[in-house]
Structure 1
Amino acid sequence: MSILDSLTLTSTAKRIDTSPVGTARRKLLDALGLQIEAATATIKGEVFIRRVGRWVDVNGTKERRDVPVRFRPWWWKDEAGTIHLHIHYGNRPLELKPGKAAITVGAMDNLLPTLEQIKLAVAAGELDKAMTEAVARRQRVLKKPVTTAKAGKPAQ
């Protein structure tokens, strides 16, 4: 008897949601993971430095090195000492409910549980509508007016 005969084989393949909503959800989950790492380091009193692999020129040869890059936390402290949190998609905060984009966390100890709850909400698809609106808003901004070939003026 061969080793493969002792295994249970199926025709199932790994499925990844490649729809625009699935891609947006994965990007937001990755960003939330990074925010959770930063919040954990901040609570421990450590400095969080985000590092990314980049190709850099060293004495005429290119080497892949981890270099520090800018990191922007999504939380801030107001004058009263209360922690607030924005959920960003790209570089803009998501509007979670009409007219409301910030979450009041309270103390710094509540930040990690709040981020974990948001991560569960994103995985469950509760922020899909807000993400699709943010993507649509970005596409409207990036659209250029259609020009006519002869006059070079915007079409009316």
Structure 2
Amino acid sequence: MSILENLILTNITKQRDTSPEGTARQKLLDALALQSEAATAAMKGEMFIRRVGRWVDVDGTKEHKEVPVRFRPWWFKDEAGTVHLHIRYGNKPLELKPGKSVVTVGTMEQLVPVLEQVRQAVTAGELDKAIAGAVASRQRVLKKPATAAKAGKPAQ
């Protein structure tokens, strides 16, 4: 008897959300996971260093190495020591409700559970409007050609 005969074989492909909303949602989820990892390290008193793979030139040959890159935490403390959290898409803070873009967390111990709640809200699609607004503001605005050039007239 073959080993493959003992397995249950099917013809199913993995479902991925490749819509623009799904791609933006996944980007935000990845960023939230990174922030959660950094918050956990900060609570333990450890230094968080984000590393990415880059091709670097070493003695005339290119090598793939893990290099440290800049990391910006989304949280900050006010004068009273209260922790606040900006949810960002790219470098823009998301407006969670009209006129409100900051979540008041309280203490550092509460930061990871709040990030988990935000992750659940993103997964449920509650922040899709805010993400769409951030995506729209990041898109480049193309200049329209001059009306003379449109009509085929030479520009003077």
TM-score (norm 1): 0.91
Q: Which ranges of structure 2 fall in alignment gaps of 5 or more residues?
A: none
Identity in percent: 68
Cα separation, partners in 2 of 1:113 and 1:57, compared to 1, 3 Å: same
Residue matched to 2:75? 75
Cα separation, partners in 2 of 1:152 and 1:52, compared to 1, 3 Å: farther
Give the secondary-structure state (helix, strand or coil) at the position aligned to 1:132. Answer: helix
Q: CA deviation digits over 1:70-98, x for unaligned, max 9?
A: 00000000111110000000110000000
**One-letter identity of the residue aligned with 1:119:** R
TM-score (norm 2): 0.91
Alpha-carbon distance between aligned partners in 2 of 1:16 and 1:109, rounded to the nearest angstrom? 34
Pairing 1:144–2:142 present: yes
Alpha-carbon distance between aligned partners in 1 of 2:33 and 2:100, rounded to the nearest angstrom? 23
Q: Which ranges of structure 1 fall in alignment gaps of 5 or more residues?
A: none
Aligned residue runs from structure 1 range 7-156, under 5 A: 7-139=7-139, 142-148=140-146, 149=149, 150=153
Alpha-carbon distance between aligned partners in 1 of 2:18 and 2:154, rounded to the nearest angstrom? 41
Cα separation, partners in 2 of 1:151 and 1:123, compared to 1, 3 Å: farther
CA RMSD of aligned residues (A): 1.5
Alpha-carbon distance between aligned partners in 1 of 2:99 and 2:38, rounded to the nearest angstrom? 27
**One-letter identity of the residue aligned with 1:7:** L
Structure 1 runs of 4+ aligned residues shifted over 3 Å read: 150-153
**One-letter identity of the residue aligned with 1:12:** I
Cα separation, partners in 2 of 1:151 and 1:101, compared to 1, 3 Å: farther
Shift of 1:113: 0.6
Alpha-carbon distance between aligned partners in 2 of 1:6 and 1:41, rounded to the nearest angstrom? 45
Give the secondary-structure state (helix, strand or coil) at the position aligned to 2:62. Answer: strand
Alpha-carbon distance between aligned partners in 1 of 2:154 and 2:39, rounded to the nearest angstrom? 55
Alpha-carbon distance between aligned partners in 1 of 2:130 and 2:74, rounded to the nearest angstrom? 17
